[in-house]
Structure 1
Amino acid sequence: MGEECRRAGACLCGSVRLSAIPSKLEMDVCHCSMCRRWSGGTFMAVPCGDSLEFESAGTLGVYRSSDYAERLFCTACGSTLAWRMSDGSSAAVAMHVFTDTEGFVFAEEIFIDEKPPHYSFANDTRKLTGAEVMAQFASQQGA
């Protein structure tokens, strides 16, 4: 996808405005315990590689949640915005931050082995365990 596919978005209060180029027109869901606590449910996100840019970031909060990643949010309204590698090499932008969500399909669930038993999605999706996700990250870092 090229620059013409860049999509704009914002937090609930509009203080943080961003844009990114989706790596694919797919929404993925993360079931890991950190994402569930952070987002108040599952984290529904669009993989955007290293294309995440901020037009306005005055109230952007960054929380380093692990040795390798951080979570971005608005300190004014609390909106969950994105998860990204600490070095900026990869980001997953919250699906509903984007103004235009046309064309996306729900394609993948990650950390499926951490999903609580009290909910399930009806969609037929790819399902990856935490170990499979971490192996993918490791192979991308070595590429």
Structure 2
Amino acid sequence: MTQVRLGEAVPDFTLPSTGDKTFQLSALKGKRVLIYFYPKDNTPGCTLEGQNFRDNIDFFNEHNTVIFGISRDSLRMHENFKTKQAFPFDLLSDADEEACQLFDVIKLKKLYGKEHLGIVRSTFLIDENGVLQQEWRNVKVKDHLDEVKQAILDL
């Protein structure tokens, strides 16, 4: 399977979205797209990451940037998480790991001494022409928002 590369166009993909919608990357030409992959709804790090993006939505709107969060959780779980946190952006369900494979975010992780395959927190910034301009892997939530905002300003 093809995987994304910096400086190259991101292959088009489609995923089910909150709000009973369907996300299609190619439909967003002309806008910057920020996609963040996170392990699981309603967990501390994932909640904080989403809240950081939520609390800075005006910045993203001013810079023609739309945000989408992706995890393997169901749409029902996403709807509850989005509502509970008042996220002003949609969450995408990647139960089949199509986007996870495309962006190569599924890795072997350890939790309580046991290994399992899971999503490594990662963020991708795609420009108005669908080209991947920036990627952050193994994201630490604390300083991540500032890095993302600076990358958007630098585009």
Above 0.5 in TM-score?
A: no
Question: Shorter-chain TM-score: what band?
Answer: 0.3 to 0.5
More helix per residue: 1 or 2? 2
Q: TM-score, normalised by structure 2?
A: 0.35
Q: TM-score, normalised by structure 1?
A: 0.37
More strand per residue: 1 or 2? 1
Higher relative contact order (CA 8 A, sep 6+): 2
